[in-house]
């Protein structure tokens, strides 16, 4: 899968955990199947824009902010890689 799909899943998981919810609770709040939420979090499926909207609504964040967090996660990881490269020198 693409890096964006993986980052989206990680972001959904982070927000779910921050809310103290299980996958079942997020699935119920977003009207999705629990196993599908798990697949999204693991980056194994590509969520449609409708699914992203359902997850964002359940997580009390707008879709744009959810996607921005995915980009921020990518920037943080890039920064970590740069730091690790500097340490390895």
* Count of structural domains, the chain: 1
Residue 89 in 3-state DSSP? coil
- Indicate which CATH number applies to the domain containing 34: 1.10.260.40
Per-residue confidence in pLDDT tens, the chain, 89 aa = 688 899 999 999 999 999 999 999 999 999 999 999 999 999 999 999 999 999 999 999 999 999 999 887 766 665 554 454 556 56
Helices and strands of the chain, counted as H and E runs: 5, 0
Domain that holds residue 54: 3-88
Q: How far is CA 39 from CA 1, 45, 76, in A?
A: 12, 6, 23
């Amino acid at each position: 899968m693409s890096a964006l799909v993986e980052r989206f899943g990680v972001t959904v998981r982070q927000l779910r955990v921050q809310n103290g919810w299980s996958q079942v609770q997020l699935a119920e709040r977003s009207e999705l199947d629990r196993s599908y939420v798990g697949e999204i979090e693991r980056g194994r499926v590509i969520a449609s824009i409708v699914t992203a909207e359902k997850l964002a609504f359940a997580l009390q964040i707008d879709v744009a902010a959810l996607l921005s967090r995915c980009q921020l996660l990518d920037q943080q990881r890039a920064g970590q890689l740069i730091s690790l490269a500097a340490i390895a020198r």
